[in-house]
Each structure stands twice: as structure tokens, then as C-alpha cells.
Structure 1
């Protein structure tokens, strides 16, 4: 349906009758390395197809009144942002072509996306102004390094209200994954409460979505569970810091 390339990464939009074991009629946004970034069910466009955005939306709705404010890094097809009011969510997306595709093929209608680096745009926001900072940004190499460091997590905490929460979607293996362990350990340097939940589906050693929740106690501790996810304990890792 559509194929774009910015030199370092290819972006593809296509339709399929099966996706992650589900049958139906799906439209998918995918990076060229086969990493699915978003999907809609064309027979039921309001349904959230992928597990991790569905659980992030449910978590926010259960914990926060309708006035809660969200800063999101990584737009994808706009699945999460599209579930909230336009003035409730501010989205940072580094690639303008992704936003164009989300409007043309995935029915994204809000005008709340700013084009630019998510960390730089977050720095411009007032301290203590968000209930949630959501990080869902990927490149071919995974989450960009400067969005995983102790300095970044400290910035996110600075922009959160009291009781606010950082929600990060990462991907990796549950055992002996140095990147996931490093992210978890680094978050613990900044947030009093850090928990990790891994998608239960998939082979034991397969790469899967892992959601990290970071906040001041007891905000992250009051999350009892996420449907389709299991709480996991990760090995101690190294601390990620900005490169000098």
C-alpha cells in the first residue's frame, strides 16, 4: 500500500488476514526489519489490536481521571494518543512521514503531534505538568540510547506531577538480556518504585514486549497486574548514562 525510506529505515504499510495468530483483516505499519509498529482491525477500527497499547490505555484510565495529561514519545499509528482527548496528550515524533502515514492509512485525526526529538521536546515542557510520560520509540537498533539513560529518566521524573508515572515499552528476552537489565537498573537510580511486566505469549526464549513502570512509591506498586503480561524480575545490570 505504501513504502517510504528515510535512508536509514524503511517504513511499510500493508494489509494482512492474519496477525500474531489473530485472523481478520488488518492494516499494519511495519519497519523494514519486520518490527510491527502498529495495526488496526479494518472490521473493527476502534478495537486496540496489540496487547501493550491496550494495557497502557487501560492502566491510565483506571488510575487517572479524565483530566490527566500525557506526554508521549513515539507516535506509531497513534493508537494510544487516539484514545484520549486531543488536548490531553502531547506527542513527540521524530519522523514526519510516520505521522503522515498514520493520518492517511490509520485514521489518526488529532493535531497534537510535534515533529522532533522526544527528549528535546520534553525538556521544553514545564516541570510537574504531566501525569504520564510514555516512551514507545524504536529504531532498527531498539530504543534510542539517549532515551534510556539516567539523565533522561531524571528529566522525565522532573516533568511528572506528584504520583505521576513513566511507562516505557521495550523489547527483549527475559533471560540474560543486558539491555533490559540495564534499563531496569538505571530506572531504579531515579524512581523509588520500578516494575517490569513481560508479554506472556511467545516462545520461552523469544523476544517480547516488556513494559517498565517507574514512579515514586506507591504509584507503580499499586499496579496489581496487566492482562496478558506477567511481572518479571530482571538481573542487575549496568547504569546507562549519556555519552560524554
Structure 2
């Protein structure tokens, strides 16, 4: 059963609805969705503090495991406020390009965490002090995937500049594995800036199917406990030929 709470199609489709089942799990869930079935966030109304998606749980584990004393975070992409809320005890700068998304997170999903700045993430990041952030986390999607400006070499160089000397860039992307040209383009660019680039893939579906992947780029080998990675597994890095 689905009950729509908010629907609009201009300037882009945005829907909020309650449903009794998501991904085969039954319950009472509230969903934020863009067009083309692009789900941006899910709230378990019976357990509002629960983080339902696997990738935020894996990202938070990597952050805690690799720098337990981290304080400063730059987050691009707000959605319903899952990561924003989890980082409420840190010094976090949250960039969300769409005022409507920020408004809906408060009205329908109960977001009351750190303030959300309505600005393009790349533009806002360029204004930050060099060497400030322990982590930069990219969790920004629209109907076509990650916004193009967040996939450029200029953006990666800016992120590198704004991180501390031991800082880490974490990106949530959708890909088909290490031989996906899209994934390889990220890996190639980041490997030219960071000595360590690891890929983690959600263990779901068969080979060649699109799925959530996390790219971690930093300066030291990444530590993690497999049991805390929420079904994400480290995968073999792409074989990138010299150009």
C-alpha cells in the first residue's frame, strides 16, 4: 500500500510517500524519491533512528575506524538527512543544492540536525579553508546520477586541497564493478592525487549489474571490520593502463 504525501513534477519530479514494503521488507516506511525511481532516502517510521540504507552505515564505519578523533566534515548531498543527522556531534558543513529537498527533510522526515546550506557543493567547497577537513563525503544524486561537476578533475583537486594531510575523500557512486568505464574514470583521476584508492561494492545482484559502490581516497591503507561494512566488500582495483 502506498500513500502519497507530496507530489510535484516541475522543475523536476519529487515524491514523498508512505509504503508498507521496501526492498522486500515489510513495515511502515516513508520514502523520498526523484524521477526514474531514484530513491533518495527511506525512513523506518517504527524505528526512526535506524539507518536503513547500507552505504551510509558503511561510510560511517570507515570514518570512525580510520580516524576515531575526526571532527571536521564537509558533506555534499543531504537527502532526508541520514548522514547529516549521524554527524550532528561533529563540525559539519552540509551542502544541498535543492531548497525543496531540505524543506521536505524537515517537514516529512523530522530532520532537526545541523543547518543545511543551499549551494552547489563544488562552489561551496572552493570557499573553504585549505587543509580544514578530516573527511569530505559526496552523497549527491539526481535522476541522471552524480552531478557532473562533482566528477571532474578540478573537483577532485579542490577536495584534495581542502583535506587535512591525513584526510579522506569518500564517494557514494553507482557502478557495475571495477571494469566499468565510469568507475575506472573515478579511480584513474583519484589515483593521480591520492596514494591509496580503495573500492567497496555492495554485495548484491550478479556481475555486471549496477549497484552502490564506495570510493575511498586517502593517504594510508584503509582499515575496516567486515562485519560492520553493511554488506559492502572491498573489491579488486581496476587495471588502469598508462595514457
Residues 23, 237 of structure 1: alpha-carbon distance in 2 compared, 3 angstrom cutoff: farther
Residues 237, 36 of structure 1: alpha-carbon distance in 2 compared, 3 angstrom cutoff: farther
Residues 24, 204 of structure 1: alpha-carbon distance in 2 compared, 3 angstrom cutoff: farther
Stretch deviating more after TM superposition (228-237 or 153-162): 228-237
Residues 224, 190 of structure 1: alpha-carbon distance in 2 compared, 3 angstrom cutoff: farther
Q: Is the 8 A contact 2:57 2:230 kept in 1?
A: no
Between the aligned partners of 1:31 and 1:237, the Cα distance in structure 2 is 34
The correspondence for 1:212, drawn from 215, 219, 227, is: 215
Give the secondary-structure state (helix, strand or coil) at the position aligned to 1:202: coil
TM-score by length of 1: 0.89
The correspondence for 2:75, drawn from 72, 75, 85, is: 72
TM-score by length of 2: 0.90
1:29 alignment partner in structure 2: 32
Q: Does 1:228 align with 2:231?
A: yes
2:162 alignment partner in structure 1: 159
* Deviation per residue, 1:147-173 (Å, 9 max, x gap): 112221111111111211100000021
Deviation at 1:66, TM superposition (A): 5.5
Residues 204, 28 of structure 1: alpha-carbon distance in 2 compared, 3 angstrom cutoff: same
Deviation at 1:212, TM superposition (A): 0.2
The correspondence for 1:114, drawn from 108, 113, 117, is: 117
Give the secondary-structure state (helix, strand or coil) at the position aligned to 1:141: coil
Residues 167, 21 of structure 1: alpha-carbon distance in 2 compared, 3 angstrom cutoff: same
1:3 alignment partner in structure 2: 7
Q: Is the 8 A contact 2:176 2:209 kept in 1?
A: yes
Deviation at 1:59, TM superposition (A): 2.3
- Structure 1 gap ranges (5+): 240-244
Q: Is the 8 A contact 2:178 2:235 kept in 1?
A: no
Give the secondary-structure state (helix, strand or coil) at the position aligned to 1:85: coil
Between the aligned partners of 1:150 and 1:223, the Cα distance in structure 2 is 28
Q: Is the 8 A contact 1:185 1:238 kept in 2?
A: no
Between the aligned partners of 1:88 and 1:236, the Cα distance in structure 2 is 37
Deviation at 1:224, TM superposition (A): 5.4
Between the aligned partners of 2:105 and 2:16, the Cα distance in structure 1 is 10
Deviation at 1:223, TM superposition (A): 3.7
Residues 236, 142 of structure 1: alpha-carbon distance in 2 compared, 3 angstrom cutoff: farther
